[in-house]
Amino acid sequence: MKNKFSTVLLLTWVVASLMAQGDFEKALSHYKQGQYSKAIEEFAQIVKANPDYESGHRILGDSYLRIKKYEKAIEAFQKALRLKSNNYISYYGLALAYYNSGKYGDAIATLLKGERYARSPRDQYQLYHTRGSAYYNINEFDQAISDLQKAISIQRGKLKDVLQLGISHYRLGNFTQAEKYLKQALTLDPGASEAKRHLSRLQYQQAISAIEANNYNKAAVVLKDYVKENAQDADAWFNLGLAQLFSQNLEAAESAFLNSVSLAPDNWEVYDRLGYIYEKKKDYNKSLQNYQKAQNLHPAPQIEESLKRVKERMHRK
C-alpha cells in the first residue's frame, strides 16, 4: 500500500531559537528535494541538540518512513507524540510505520487514539483507508467494512478500498454487497485478478445455493460457465455432476464426474456416483469397479449394499 505524507503539512513548525538557521535550512532543503538520507543526518543532529523540538522528530520520522526504515520511523514519531499528543500527522505517520512493517494491530490502535484529531476530509480519508486496510489484513472484516465504507464515502474511485470492501463482504457471506463492490473494482481496473477470482467464487456459491434449493437446472447452467474459467476445480466438476445427475442427465453427469475424478482421484463420492450412473446404464462391470473404489477409500454400509446389489444383477444376467 502506497501511503505518502503531505510535505506541506509536515513543514508547519517554528525553528527553535537555539537552532542554527543554516543547519535548519540545509536539512529542510534535503527533505524538500527528496534526499531523505541526507535530511536524516541533519535532523538527527538538530533533535539531538534540541530534544524537545517536536516538529524535528516528526520530519525525521517521515524521512525514515520514506526510506522504509520503519523501526526508526516508529521511534521518531513516538517522540513527536510525547511532545505533542494532539497532532494527527504524527499519529498517521506512526500508523503507517506500523502498517508497513506488518504490525496491523498497532496501526489500528494508533489511529483509534488519533481519530479525534483527524478533522479535514483528507485526514479522515487517510485514517479510514489505512485503518480499514489494517482490519482487512487481520481478517476483522466487520470493522474493515465499517472503515472502508467511510473511506469511499469521502473519496471514491480508489481501487484498493473498493476491492477490499468487496472481499470483506464476500468473506462474511454478504454476497449481494460483495458482487456490487467487486464489479465496481473491475470497472476501475478490468484486469484486477482478485476481483475476477472472487466474482468467480460468487458464481460458484450461487450454484451451490441452487443445488441446496433443488434448483438443479439453474445450478448446472451456472456451473457450466464456471468450469469454463476454472477447469482445474475438482469440486466444481463434482457439483456440476450432481446437478446434472439430479436433472436426470446421466451422460452429462458422467462426463462431469470423470473430469472431477481425474483431478481428485481420492474422492470416494465421485466413484460412488459413477457406480450409480453405470448401474442405471446397466454397465455392471464399470459400476462394480467404481463402487469397489469408493468402498476401498471410504468403507460404508450403503456402498457395501450397492456392491451386493450389482453383483446379484450380474449373476442374474
DSSP 44-111: HHHHHH-TT-HHHHHHHHHHHHHTT-HHHHHHHHHHHHHH-TT-HHHHHHHHHHHHHTT-HHHHHHHH
How many structural domains compose the chain?
A: 2
Residues ≥6 apart with Cβ < 8 Å to 267? 234, 238, 260, 261, 297
With a pLDDT cut of 70, the percent of the chain lying above it is 93
Q: Of 279, 263, 273, 272, which Cα lies nearest the Cα of 297?
A: 272
Whether 92 is covered by a domain: the verdict is: yes
- Residue 136's identity, in one-letter code, is Y
Q: How far, in Å, CA of 11 to CA of 55, rounded?
A: 8
Phi-psi region of 256 (alpha: psi -120 to 50; beta: other; left: phi over 0): alpha
* C-alpha distance from residue 192 to each of 160, 162, 195 (Å): 10, 11, 6
Q: How far, in Å, CA of 26 to CA of 203, rounded?
A: 59
Three cell numbers written together for 281:
446404464
Q: Of 91, 88, 139, which Cα lies nearest the Cα of 117?
A: 88
Binned at pLDDT 50, 70 and 90, residue 83 comes out as very high
Residue whose C-alpha cell is 520520522: 61
Residues 169 and 125 in one domain: yes
Whether 8 is covered by a domain: the verdict is: yes
Which of 104, 126, 149 marks a domain boundary?
A: 104
Quote the radius of gyration of the chain (alpha carbons, Å): 31
DSSP H/E element including 18: none
247 pLDDT higher than 50:
yes
**Helices 284-297 and 301-316, packing angle to 10 deg:** 160
Three cell numbers written together for 38:
541526507
Whether 310 is covered by a domain: the verdict is: no
Q: pLDDT (tens digit, 9 = 90+) per residue, 149-180?
A: 999 999 999 999 999 999 999 999 999 999 99
Answer whether 126's CB lies under 8 Å from 160's CB.
no
* C-alpha distance from residue 181 to each of 99, 150, 156, 186, 219 (Å): 24, 14, 12, 9, 24
User: What's the pLDDT score for residue 11?
Assistant: 40
Q: How far, in Å, CA of 126 to CA of 2, rounded?
A: 11
Q: How far, in Å, CA of 205 to CA of 194, rounded?
A: 16
Average pLDDT over residues 209-235: 94
User: What's the pLDDT score for residue 1?
Assistant: 41
Q: How far, in Å, CA of 281 to CA of 249, rounded?
A: 12
Q: What is the mean pLDDT of the chain?
A: 92
Whether 17 is covered by a domain: the verdict is: yes
Q: How far, in Å, CA of 40 to CA of 48, rounded?
A: 12
- Residue 140's identity, in one-letter code, is E
Domain that holds residue 77: 1-104
Q: How far, in Å, CA of 148 to CA of 179, rounded?
A: 16
pTM of the model: 0.77
265 pLDDT higher than 50:
yes
Residues 89 and 52 in one domain: yes
Q: pLDDT (tens digit, 9 = 90+) per residue, 99-146?
A: 999 999 999 999 999 999 999 999 999 999 999 999 999 999 999 999
Q: pLDDT (tens digit, 9 = 90+) per residue, 8-50?
A: 334 433 344 434 455 788 888 999 999 999 999 999 999 999 9
Residues 3 and 95 in one domain: yes
Q: How many CA atoms lie within 13 A of 130 on its CB side?
A: 34
Residues 99 and 127 in one domain: no
Whether 166 is covered by a domain: the verdict is: yes
Residues 123 and 100 in one domain: no
User: What's the pLDDT score for residue 12?
Assistant: 37
Whether 9 is covered by a domain: the verdict is: yes
Residues 128 and 172 in one domain: yes
2 pLDDT higher than 60:
no
